[in-house]
């Protein structure tokens, strides 16, 4: 690690020696007034950008529309520190990594509800349509002290569409691989409240995603349908009722990569619902929610649904009570309780567990200095309990420059598969744990904003398959999950956006040194360098967008690397009339061969045309 650490030190010292460096604002949406950006993921309550003590990138609906993505992974990949590994195109599985951590080290929340599989340990981003999304917040670094398990790398919170009363839209799109989409949404007023209902349907014939020697040679298509409802009702001066629901149903075709007659298709049917009440007083804000989520997947062979059939289901019930109290000028107290019950379908030695958590967060402002301390305790049934913390400071030098530093711990509870999978689970597993450090310098002035963040994350008790020292009846070694691995991830993350001659620019660069401390090798699936650049321009009724992504070579294990690749996407939108808009999008313009997972091929050049009507 000596050489690697010196590389980072040189890079850091070089960057901070640039006195004219345009650095600051963690937000990546393209609003000009950075200070008006509000985020909730850091503390569960509204905070302006200058009140946040950790890096939070945001993407708003307007930016999603310009990107015209085919998957949530396409949106997330435009952000600094976010890396995507795809098993094919939009409808296939994709792993999201924050600052080099595992995909299972990312807590995913949809409208305040924790989602994902308790058997696999992560969330299937391919099941959610970008058309259903209003806003995304991506928090970097551990936030277990506020949210609990899984937030080792960070938190991704997704907010579904919300329209005002009498607002509505309809849209349609057609493109490569016989892709077709139809979507609609409407906002309805009811007394002192409103609700939004949206529906989206899309499908594609796909292409052959895998190039293994024994794999199937056929197109792998997908279809998905999303229905969402979101609303609120003001009951009186202080009380408000809240509700949301999301239903996603679809089908994905993939390849039996070993040609063994196994499953090559899956159906999924996932839902969430959330009911809540919020009290807003002069000093106290209190929110109580009850919710449930389901992650269901059925695998089978497409030519015979009874062959290789396997059903997987996770049910999660959650109750949360969160509070924010203004004790005095500049002194805030946050705290609350969380209870959840996770249950899985299958022949497990234990098929459900309860998790109870309690947290408290104190924030204090002294003129230019802002400090925050958070502590949380989680008791996980039949597994070790965990106490996590965050300590953060920020100093505002002047109206343009701000320096913040934070350290914290986080954990990831073992999955039901790790613990109780029939004949191979290990019920003695401990939670994976981490300790991280982060320092961020921010700059903001007029139409220029940027930040540079230096970070380090030490992760212990990583779960991996390992021999138990026993043999089976045939003399073969018995392998089971065990807490055998450790990792150290350090890096630098840079982001800036600025305007030149009417052109809006966004540039992001991430440098990673992700080391497996057991082998001394780079962590599998990571690369040292990743670059994103976006250029947009508004001219009369036209808007233009160019997105460039560079992914450095990825370590594939056994001394092998996947080749680096780059991708350029171009888009143009035309406002035909006040309400009508046409949009043309070309992905992978240079038809690059993109392989982000061994033998899995991303789409070549694609072209999409959409038309939409919005009554806003």
Report pTM: 0.92
Among 72, 138, 128, smallest CA distance to 106 is for: 138
What is residue 29's predicted lDDT score, i.e. its pLDDT? 39
pLDDT for res 21:
31
Q: Are 336 and 318 in contact (CB under 8 A)?
A: no
Q: pLDDT tens digits, residue range 171-185?
A: 999 999 999 999 999
Q: Which CATH superfamily is domain 2-615 in?
A: TonB-dependent receptor, beta-barrel domain (2.40.170.20)
Are 371 and 393 a contacting pair, CB within 8 Å? yes
Confidence of residue 559 (pLDDT cuts 50, 70, 90): confident
Report pLDDT for 36.
Answer: 61
Q: Whose CA is closest to 588, among 127, 60, 86?
A: 86
H helices within 298-432, ranges in order?
Answer: 416-420
pLDDT in tens, 127-145: 999 999 999 999 998 889 9
Both tokens of 456, joined, read: 């380090």
CA distance 398 to 442: 11
Of 257 and 130, the structure prediction assigns the larger pLDDT to: 130
- d(Cα 243, Cα 290) in Å, to the nearest integer? 10
Whose CA is closest to 355, among 409, 319, 389? 319
Structure tokens at 139: 């928090």
| pLDDT score, position 536 | 97
Share of the chain above pLDDT 70, in %: 94
The pLDDT score that the predictor gives to residue 147 is: 95
Q: What does the pLDDT read at residue 49?
A: 74
Check: CB of residue 547 under 8 Å from CB of residue 569.
Answer: yes
Cα–Cα dist 444/133, whole Å: 28
More confident residue, 244 or 306: 244
Please count the other Cβ atoms lying within 10 Å of the Cβ belonging to residue 560.
Answer: 11
Predicted local confidence at residue 317, as pLDDT: 97
Does 79 or 35 have the greater pLDDT score? 79
Q: How confident is the model at residue 26 (pLDDT cuts 50, 70, 90)?
A: very low
Q: Among 7-11, 18-22, 392-396, 532-536, where is mean pLDDT lowest?
A: 18-22
317-329: pLDDT as tens digits: 999 999 999 998 8
Distance separating alpha carbons of residues 273 and 245, to the nearest angstrom: 4
Cα gap 416→410, rounded to integer Å: 19
| Distance separating alpha carbons of residues 359 and 378, to the nearest angstrom | 9
Give me the DSSP letters along 479-548: EEEEEEEEEEEEEEEEEEEEEETTEEEEEEEEEEEEEETTT-SBPTT--SEEEEEEEEEEETTEEEEEEE
Tokens of 576: 């035909």
| Average pLDDT over all residues of the chain | 91
Listed residue (364, 318, 315, 363) closest to 337, CA to CA: 318
Q: What is the pLDDT of residues 142-164, one digit of tens each?
A: 889 999 999 999 999 999 999 99
Would you say residue 33 has pLDDT above 70? no
| Half-sphere CA count of 379, side-chain side, radius 13 A | 5
Domain boundaries of the chain, sorted by first residue:
2-615
């Amino acid at each position: 690690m000596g050489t690697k650490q010196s590389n980072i030190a040189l890079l850091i010292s070089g960057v901070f020696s640039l006195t004219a460096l345009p650095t600051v604002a963690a937000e990546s949406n393209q609003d000009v007034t950075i200070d008006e950006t509000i985020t909730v993921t850091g503390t569960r309550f509204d905070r302006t950008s200058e009140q946040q003590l950790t890096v939070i990138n945001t993407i708003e609906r307007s930016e999603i529309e310009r990107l015209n993505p085919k998957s949530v992974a396409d949106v997330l990949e435009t952000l600094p520190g976010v890396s995507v590994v795809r098993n094919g195109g939009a409808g296939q599985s994709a792993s999201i990594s924050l600052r080099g951590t595992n995909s299972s080290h990312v807590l995913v929340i949809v409208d305040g509800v924790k989602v994902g599989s308790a058997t696999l340990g992560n969330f299937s981003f391919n099941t959610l349509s970008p058309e259903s999304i209003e806003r995304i917040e991506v928090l970097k670094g551990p936030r277990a002290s506020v949210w609990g398990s899984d937030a080792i790398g960070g938190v991704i919170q997704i907010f579904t569409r919300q329209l005002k009363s009498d607002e509505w839209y309809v849209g349609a799109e057609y493109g490569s691989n016989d892709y077709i989409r139809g979507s609609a949404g409407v906002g309805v007023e009811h007394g002192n409240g409103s609700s939004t209902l949206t529906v989206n349907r899309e499908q594609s014939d796909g292409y052959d995603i895998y190039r293994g020697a024994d794999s199937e040679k056929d197109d792998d298509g997908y279809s998905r349908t999303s229905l969402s409802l979101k609303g609120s009702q003001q009951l009186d001066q202080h009380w408000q009722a809240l509700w949301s629901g999301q239903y996603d149903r679809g089908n994905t075709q993939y390849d039996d990569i070993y040609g063994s007659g196994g499953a090559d298709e899956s159906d999924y049917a996932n839902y969430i619902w959330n009911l809540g009440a919020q009290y807003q007083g002069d000093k106290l804000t209190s929110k109580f929610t009850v919710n449930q989520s389901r992650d269901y997947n059925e695998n089978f062979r497409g030519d015979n649904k009874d062959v290789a059939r396997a059903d997987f289901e996770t049910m999660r019930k959650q109750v949360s009570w969160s509070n924010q109290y203004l004790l005095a000028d500049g002194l805030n107290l946050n705290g609350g309780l969380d209870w959840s019950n996770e249950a899985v379908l299958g022949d497990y030695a234990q098929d459900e567990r309860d998790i109870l958590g309690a947290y408290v967060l104190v924030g204090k402002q002294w003129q230019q200095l802002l400090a925050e301390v958070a502590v949380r305790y989680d008791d996980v049934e039949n597994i070790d309990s965990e106490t996590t913390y965050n300590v953060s400071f920020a100093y505002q030098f002047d109206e343009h420059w701000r320096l913040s530093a934070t350290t914290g711990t986080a954990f990831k509870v073992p999955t039901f598969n790790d613990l109780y999978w029939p004949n191979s689970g290990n019920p003695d597993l401990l939670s994976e744990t981490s300790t991280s450090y982060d320092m961020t310098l921010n700059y903001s002035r007029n139409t220029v904003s940027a930040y540079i963040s230096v970070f380090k994350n030490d992760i212990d008790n990583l779960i991996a398959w390992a021999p138990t020292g026993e043999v089976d009846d045939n003399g073969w070694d018995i392998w089971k999950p065990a807490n055998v691995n450790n990792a150290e991830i350090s890096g630098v993350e840079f982001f800036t956006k600025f305007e030149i001659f009417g052109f809006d620019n966004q540039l992001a660069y991430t440098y990673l040194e992700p080391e497996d401390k057991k082998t001394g090798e780079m962590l599998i699936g990571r690369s040292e360098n990743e670059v994103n650049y976006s250029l947009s321009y508004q001219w009369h009724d036209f808007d233009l967008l160019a997105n460039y992504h560079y992914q450095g070579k990825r370590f594939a294990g056994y001394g092998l690397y996947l080749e680096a690749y780059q991708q350029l996407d171009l888009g143009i939108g035309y406002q035909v009339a006040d309400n009508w808009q046409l949009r043309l999008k070309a992905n992978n313009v240079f038809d690059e061969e993109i392989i982000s997972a061994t033998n899995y091929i991303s789409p070549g050049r694609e072209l999409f045309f959409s038309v939409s009507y919005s009554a806003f």
